Amino acid sequence: MIPDGPGVEPAGTTPRPDVGLSPPPSPVPHDSGDGVTTKPASELCSTEQSGSRPAAADQGDSTTNHVDPISTHTFAPGALTRVRDRCERRRSATKGGNDFCPFPTVTAKPSWIDQQFDWQGRVLVEKDQQSGAKPLGCAWFIGDVHGDLVGLLAALEFIRSQKEYRDHDIIVLLGDLIDDLAESHEVLAEVSERLQRDERLLVIAGNHDVALEYCDERGFGASVDPSDFSRYLQQLWECEESIREVSHRLARSFIEYIANAPVALFLRDGTIVAHGGVPHTDMTQKVLQENWGELPEVWSDFIWARLHPRAKRRIAVTGTRSRELGAADFHAFTEVMGTKLGFKPTRMIRGHDHIDERFEIYGGPWKGAVLTINSMSWKLPREIGVDGPRDPCVAQWRPNEPIQPYVIKLDRAWRAGLQPGSLA
């Protein structure tokens, strides 16, 4: 493990907007009959009109409605039972040492990705409809998971139980599947199994994912901190072979998978999707090159860069990982991409920064153009605040409509009852 250095996520110092987000309003449940109680859109509008918009405090220009105000949802008992069952099955499979389904190999890319997107190196660009591709109907986003099996399962259950969810929708994981919470192995096993089953799941590389390393001489390591998962994998050398072998093979297949995973999506309605940020201004000439998506110095900003929630500009410090962009730097990139792609990005959905409320809509100079979401249902050890459950956040995208974040209200006692013991 390489200790604190460039690219390390600062513990508990998540950047905040000018105005803190007030807690989401308590949901007024409406049984949708599908196991999830929801809050109808009309209530969101009335919240907005009353002037007490709960999430998008300091939106700046209120005419720029890129992201919907927050909507909170409560799980019905049936959904909670399904998540608990799935969670317990996954845990006992891991304990039994037979929980191994490797990540798909590079050559096994599902055909739906190529039907829907063009690859520009590590970047996916939604195909033009003139090419005959079916337009993307709806995409769902899951933010950072960080070894929280319950958060991942709750997010997946929530999305799949939405009335608007269709089988051809895609679910995008915004990266950072591992580290921090105790169940990185279980999270990877869950994701790899779903990928092998050909679910329409897209995993985008996060900084913790790409930082995990393996070599025959030294075993596992990580160029990020915290890196609990690589430590856990190293400790397994002391364990019996059946347990060790399964975890090590899963982790090595993940490393290979992530080394070829997309780092960003560009959707034709102007939405950028990535874990961190976008290439900084010093990369403009390289972004204009044909092979831009193959250049690590360009695409690493999608994984590592941060978007400063208040700044207009930040200096592009060349050669470091944790570069920061302000709103004007972001817009400079969108201008360049507009020329390059023929459509101009206007908004972004991402993870990377950890927020106690598990979502943040950037106001001030950003004018609501950026949504950050996390899907951890528990406080991370490096986060400040009261220890215990959090409400994970997911988001829904439909072309040319505001992105809709959903805070999934989990029963606190239920969540606490699913807290795993130490894996070691």
Among 126, 148, 157, 176, binds Mn ion (CB under 5 A): 176
Q: Does 225 bind Mn ion (CB under 5 A)?
A: no
Q: Which is nearer to Mn ion, 3 or 132 (CB)?
A: 3
Q: How far is the CB of 392 from Mn ion (least distance, A)?
A: 13
Least separation in angstroms between CB 204 and Mn ion: 12
For residue 215, what are the β-bridge partners?
219
Q: How many CA atoms lie within 13 A of 293 on its CB side?
A: 19
Cβ closer to Mn ion: 176 or 391? 176
Closest to 341 (Cα-Cα) out of 292, 277, 280:
292
Closest distance to Mn ion from the beta carbon of 207 (Å): 7
- Under a CB-based contact definition with an 8 Å cutoff, are residues 57 and 309 in contact? no
Nearer to Mn ion, 38 or 300 (CB): 300
* Close Cβ partners of 238 (under 8 Å, ≥ 6 residues apart): none
Min separation Cβ 324 and Mn ion, Å: 16
Closer Cβ to Mn ion, 169 or 209, answer by number: 209
In whole angstroms, the minimum distance from the beta carbon of 423 to Mn ion comes to 20
Site stretch for Mn ion (CB under 5 A), options 90-98, 175-183, 248-256, 414-422: 175-183
Provide, rounded to whole angstroms, the least separation between the CB of residue 269 and Mn ion.
26
By C-beta, is 7 or 365 nearer to Mn ion? 7
Max Cα–Cα distance, the chain, nearest Å: 63
Task: Compute the distance between CA of residue 424 and CA of residue 416 in angstroms, rounded to an integer.
Answer: 20
Shortest separation between residue 351's beta carbon and Mn ion, angstroms = 6
Least spacing, CB of residue 293 vs Mn ion, in Å: 23
Q: From residue 56 to residue 75, what is the string marking binding to Mn ion with x (rule CB under 5 A)?
A: --------------------
Binders in 132-171 for Mn ion, by CB under 5 A: 144
Nearer to Mn ion, 248 or 275 (CB): 275
The burial of 352, by beta-carbon neighbours within 10 Å (0-12 exposed, 13-18 middle, 19 or more buried), is given as buried
Closest distance to Mn ion from the beta carbon of 91 (Å): 23
Site for Mn ion in 239-278 (CB under 5 A): none
Q: How many residues does the chain have?
A: 424
Which range, of 98-106, 161-169, 173-181, 212-220, touches Mn ion by CB under 5 A? Answer: 173-181
Q: Which residues contact 27 (CB under 8 A, 6 or more apart)?
A: 37, 39, 72, 73, 74, 409
Q: Cβ closer to Mn ion: 176 or 329?
A: 176
Q: Choose between 170 and 373: whose C-beta lies nearer to Mn ion.
A: 373
Burial class (CB in 10 A: 0-12, 13-18, 19+), 110: middle
Sign of torsion over alpha carbons 66, 330, 255, 390: negative
Nearer to Mn ion, 43 or 357 (CB): 357
Write the binding mask 91 to 130 for Mn ion: x where contact by CB under 5 A, - elsewhere.
----------------------------------------
Q: How many residues bind Mn ion (CB under 5 A)?
A: 2
Residue 144 or 190: the one with the smaller Cβ distance to Mn ion is: 144
| Residue number with the smallest Cβ distance to Mn ion | 176
- The stretch among 35-43, 176-184, 194-202, 334-342 that binds Mn ion (CB under 5 A) is 176-184
Give least dist CB 374 to Mn ion, A: 7
- The site for Mn ion (CB under 5 A) is made up of 144, 176
